[in-house]
Amino acid sequence: MNSKAITLAIVVGLLGLVIGFVTANSLNRSEINSLKMQASTAAPNGTPAKPGDFTLDPEELKAKIAQADAAPDDFDFQKSLGGALYRYATMKKDTQLLDEAARILERASKLKPKDYAVIVDLGNAYFDSGFFKKDPAVMKKARATYERAIAEKPDDADVHADYALTFFLDDPPDLTRAVAEFQKALKTNPKQERALQYLAQTYIRQGEFDKAKKTADELRSINGSNEALPLLDSQIEKKAAQPIQ
């Protein structure tokens, strides 16, 4: 079977099992961002794409992973399956499957180190695994992978926002660096909502409430329905009113 046929088989055999899976993929990062914002559980994003909406057959997943392991030099297979597994595993918050996805994407990245989609998917797989596990070491792997992506495409504001988040979520957090990287993302795309959302959150944690309010208002002007706004407004109002110790 040639590479294109294998890729099609993966899409049909894995992604095709799930109704609306492609739509769910596009919403997946938003759900993870809600997780980061709440620091507990993901909030619905106004869509039916929730982690419990469907489940793939574990045995079929194992079979697909075994297929990838049996064809380690097939880049298209590794790329397609690794990306699909990462998205599904993140949706299900399955850290074991995320690790399998990362392993397969690592193999794809070794085959074609400059493939941008693979680099980004690998960075995201590390990021989500590190977040779910609360593992700073894995989060640092995400950071290093995002740096590879930024070297390839410096103007990708979405990737740069996630890169900045690795500093925001570090233990201890590097808030000064997070601010600088969020600002770089916004320089490329002033309407990058994730960067605005977490830049405001970073300012709150720094006690820079005027800057936080200005940033939240910028986010509001772009999307007044952004689900982070009520929490940001509440935090700004509450913490700004607290007396200085």
Domain boundaries, the chain: 1-138, 154-245
186 vs 173: CA distance, rounded Å: 20
Burial status of residue 169 (CB atoms within 10 A of its CB: 0-12, 13-18, 19 or more): buried
| pLDDT attached to residue 46 | 30
Of all residues in the chain, the percent with pLDDT exceeding 90 is 70
Query: pTM of this prediction?
Result: 0.79
Structure tokens at 238: 């509450």
Q: At what angle do helices 209-222 and 229-241 cross, to 10 degrees?
A: 160
| pLDDT attached to residue 31 | 39
- φ, ψ for residue 72 (rounded to 5)? -65, -20
Give pLDDT tens digits for 8-37: 333 444 544 332 333 333 334 443 444 334
| pLDDT attached to residue 239 | 75
Residue 241 has pLDDT above 80, yes or no: no
Q: How confident is the model at residue 51 (pLDDT cuts 50, 70, 90)?
A: very low
CATH architecture of the domain formed by 1-138: Alpha Horseshoe (1.25)
What is the SS3 assignment for 27? helix
Q: How confident is the model at residue 53 (pLDDT cuts 50, 70, 90)?
A: low
202 vs 2: CA distance, rounded Å: 49
Residue 185 has pLDDT above 90, yes or no: yes
Answer whether 1-138 and 154-245 agree in fold: yes
CATH architecture of the domain formed by 154-245: Alpha Horseshoe (1.25)
Residue 47 has pLDDT above 80, yes or no: no
Mean pLDDT of the chain: 82
Helix (H) or strand (E) holding 217: helix 209-222
Give pLDDT tens digits for 100-128: 999 999 999 999 999 999 999 999 999 99
What is the SS3 assignment for 233? helix
Mean pLDDT within 198-206: 96
| pLDDT attached to residue 57 | 86
Q: How confident is the model at residue 238 (pLDDT cuts 50, 70, 90)?
A: confident
